[in-house]
Structure 1
Amino acid sequence: MFERFTKAAKDLVRGAADRAERSDEPYVTTEHLLRQLLATSGTAGAVALAAAGVDSEERRAGVERGLDEARRRGGLTRSDADALAGIGIDVEAVVGRVESAHGPGALAPRRPWRRGRTRFDADAKAVLERSLRAAIGRGDRAIGDEHILLALAASPGIPAEVLADHGATYTAIEAALPAVQRAG
């Protein structure tokens, strides 16, 4: 499938893998893909993200903070935390107690990176597969970073939740793409 990726999509995936390696994480995750896309400029995906509402350094920083907050909660989405609150578990209190005993970021998963091996977690693999379906559904011959962005917004989980919090819903991104593609 990688051979069908545009240069922008390949750069995005490689950049996400580099991010995972630099932070000593064992897998490339959907969060790495989104963080790399936030750091990108001038590509169809970056332009569509801006057109969908993540259009300033402040808004990109807000998305980054949202990803950081979810990481601090051990990868729980806000809807997960709300569900736990419904049965009497205060996730923030649990996180606070764990961090007071073990230090900040204690719930964030970390294991050594295996050099030379780019491994993707199941959610990241699913996003890349969904990006192929997004490209096919739009009648595009190649998979661009805009298709990865669509797949991130369509996949349940933290990236979609954080993007939606900043107005970049699947619908908003999809609506932005025709204008982006006409301009490109």
Structure 2
Amino acid sequence: MFERFTTSAREVVRGAVRRADETGGATVGEPELLLALLDRADSPAAHVLTTLGATTRRGSIERALTEARRRGGISPADAEALAGLGIDVDAVVSRVEQEHGVGALAAAPRRRRSRGRFAPEAKSVLERSLRIALGRGDKHIGDEHLLLALLARPGVAANVLADHDVTYVRAERALATRAEAS
């Protein structure tokens, strides 16, 4: 599969690994892939993210990802649903952090670096990017396919992006508009 990755898509994967290293994360997950996509310039995904305003709201996106990581991946929508059941997620997180330290619900403690660093959700995104590329009739996997794969299913990245008005449908439209202009 990786032989189909464009240079830009490979850079996203490398950037995600760098992000995990910088934050001390044990694995590469959706947040790291999203941040690596936001780091891109002059690529199809960068065009989509710029067109949809995500690059100008990067700070807000980073804060939302940090907060989701602190809550163990629970999205604001999930927290709201749990509140309807009488569960205060912020109170639960505070209690856990009192007992186990700040960030206790975040990623597992850092382990020795190895090749198997991709969390299951990140592996799923990479696999989904292949299916999306094939479905679009593309012979390569570009960073635009990685972005669409992040947006295609609910997850931390898709939830945060949706809260910033970046959805699968809007991303596909932006890619189509870009292709028509070329």
Q: Same fold (TM over 0.5)?
A: yes
Counterpart for residue 15 of structure 1: 15
Residue-by-residue CA offset, 1:90-147 (whole Å, 9 max, x unaligned) = 0011222333454432321232232242421111111111111111111111000000
CA distance in 1, matches of 2:180, 2:97: 49
1:44-63 map, 5 Å: 44-56=44-56, 59-63=57-61
% identical aligned pairs:
54
SS at match of 1:150: helix
Counterpart for residue 166 of structure 2: 168
CA distance in 2, matches of 1:183, 1:144: 18
Counterpart for residue 39 of structure 1: 39
Shift in Å, 1:53 = 2.7
CA distance in 1, matches of 2:180, 2:8: 17
- CA separation of 1:20 and 1:60: change in aligned 2, threshold 3 A: same
CA distance in 1, matches of 2:24, 2:159: 25
Counterpart for residue 135 of structure 2: 137
Counterpart for residue 124 of structure 1: 122
CA distance in 2, matches of 1:90, 1:127: 30
Number of equivalences: 182
Question: What is the Cα-based RMSD across aligned positions, in Å?
Answer: 1.7
Q: Assess if the C-alpha contact under 8 Å between 2:38 and 2:55 holds in 1.
A: no
Residue-by-residue CA offset, 1:147-181 (whole Å, 9 max, x unaligned) = 00001011211110110111111010000002334
CA distance in 2, matches of 1:61, 1:181: 29
CA distance in 1, matches of 2:157, 2:147: 10
Amino acid at match of 2:9: A
CA distance in 1, matches of 2:116, 2:20: 9
SS at match of 2:42: coil
Q: Of 77, 80, 88, which residue of structure 2 is paired with 1:79?
A: 77
CA distance in 2, matches of 1:180, 1:119: 34
CA distance in 1, matches of 2:55, 2:69: 23
CA distance in 2, matches of 1:114, 1:141: 36
Q: Of 87, 108, 121, which residue of structure 1 is paired with 2:106?
A: 108
Q: Which runs of 5+ in 2 are unaligned?
A: none
Q: TM-score, normalised by structure 2?
A: 0.91
